[in-house]
Amino acid sequence: MATIGIVGGTGYTGSELLRLLTGHPQAEVRCITSRAEAGQRVADALPMLRGRSELVFEDPAGAPLAECDLVFFATPNGTAMAQAPALLDAGVRVIDLAADFRIKDLSVWQHWYGMAHTAPALVDEAVYGLPEINRAAIRQARLVANPGCYPTAIVLGLLPLLEEGLIDPTRVVADGKSGVSGAGRTAVAGLLMAEVGESFKAYSVAGHRHEPEIEETLRLGTGQAVSLTFVPHLVPMVRGIEATIYAPVTRASSDLLGALRQRYRDEPFVDVMAPELPVETRSVRGSNLCRVTVTEPQGKGVAVVQSVIDNLVKGAAGQAVQNMNLMLGFPETEGLDGVALAP
């Protein structure tokens, strides 16, 4: 049984980690931290865990994190890079669900995240935690950078087509839609249900910090530069990411769908669907699946990819548990084989 620590247990990703790990047969959460809720019973703050957890939130300064086999950071950007070095020195493996180690180019990272990086040596060591690209490296890693939610959906949709040279990498447009939980649990007026309900809007149109993460991941994964125009949108739902991606095809009569099916034939958490079937967020809600398809509408030379994930599961906590399984030598699907919630 592996002992697990969670830093930052009251946000949506931290509570989702707890939900998934509570049912994991080979992992036991030893401690979970929260400065604001220190001393409170976890099951009182997160009622879905009543009868399933006897943990109490601990202050990070006194929590026995260094005694764990692996620690998750479900914290704001900047926290893991300050605290992970000491844990790594103590022999603890670390998975960061924030963005501290996702982008290798530190000048790009500092531009988009607006702070100096305090652990630059660890950026080179960190493995980007998308198993469909980096499975072997994740198994050996001490430090994993869990991908962002939009990058997970978009990279999985584009990867096979770029690997096979079936689309033009210089003219890719990604239209992403997210539920409000993607913005975190902090109370913000613009994310209140009364503000979001019955509405639909684009945001960060001039540039979103996930764009360089997507471009770098695809470049490192395929060996070719990708020029991406990415526009995210906020939709009035709690969970879910839907990405519709457009790119010119490079040759006529290409088997676009066949490329996806071949690339993901052995992937446990990527489901390639026929184009005539609905690719919808509710079909992955609460699961670690990415469902994806591609078509070339009316043979007009543009590939249209549709990709959906649950932003809190495959886009965050579920993918983090998938990475934990690889790092600790467990079956990759352990604790993650639940069926999506419907309706």
Q: Give me the residue spans of the domains in the chain.
A: 2-125, 149-311
Using CB atoms within 10 A of its CB, is residue 334 exposed (0-12), middle (13-18) or buried (19+)? middle
**93, β-bridge pairs:** 70
Cα-flanking dihedrals φ and ψ of residue 76, to 5°? -65, 160
pLDDT 10s digit of each residue in the chain, 343 long? 999 999 998 889 999 999 999 999 999 999 999 988 888 999 998 999 898 988 999 999 899 999 999 999 999 999 999 999 999 999 999 999 999 999 999 999 999 999 999 999 999 999 999 999 999 999 999 999 999 999 999 999 999 999 999 999 999 999 999 999 887 777 677 777 788 889 999 999 999 999 999 999 999 999 999 999 999 999 999 999 999 999 999 988 789 999 999 999 999 999 999 999 999 999 999 999 999 999 999 999 999 999 999 999 999 999 999 999 999 999 999 999 989 988 8
List strands edge to edge, sheet with 143-145: 27-33, 2-7, 70-73, 93-96, 143-145, 127-128
| d(C-alpha 182, C-alpha 148), whole Å | 10
> What DSSP letter does each residue of 150-204 carry, written as one string?
HHHHHHHHHHHHHHTT-B-TTSEEEEEEE-GGGG-SS--GGGSHHHHTT--EE--
- The per-residue pLDDT for 253 is 72
What are the start-end ranges of the H helices in 61-148? 79-89, 106-113, 120-125, 131-140
| d(C-alpha 48, C-alpha 217), whole Å | 36
- The per-residue pLDDT for 183 is 79
Structural contact between residues 244 and 279, judged by C-beta atoms closer than 8 angstroms: no
Using CB atoms within 10 A of its CB, is residue 57 exposed (0-12), middle (13-18) or buried (19+)? buried
- The per-residue pLDDT for 184 is 77
| d(C-alpha 32, C-alpha 34), whole Å | 7
Query: Distance of alpha carbon 13 from its chain centroid, rounded?
Result: 10
- The per-residue pLDDT for 342 is 84
Q: What is the signed CA dihedral for 155, 158, 161, 162, rounded to 10 degrees?
A: -60
The second-level CATH assignment, the architecture, of 2-125 is 3-Layer(aba) Sandwich (3.40)
- Fold (topology level) of 149-311: Dihydrodipicolinate Reductase; domain 2 (3.30.360)
Choosing from 31, 68, 149, 290, which is the catalytic residue? 149
Does the annotation count 31 as an active-site position?
A: no
| d(C-alpha 223, C-alpha 211), whole Å | 17
Residue 59, number of CB atoms within 10 A of its CB: 13
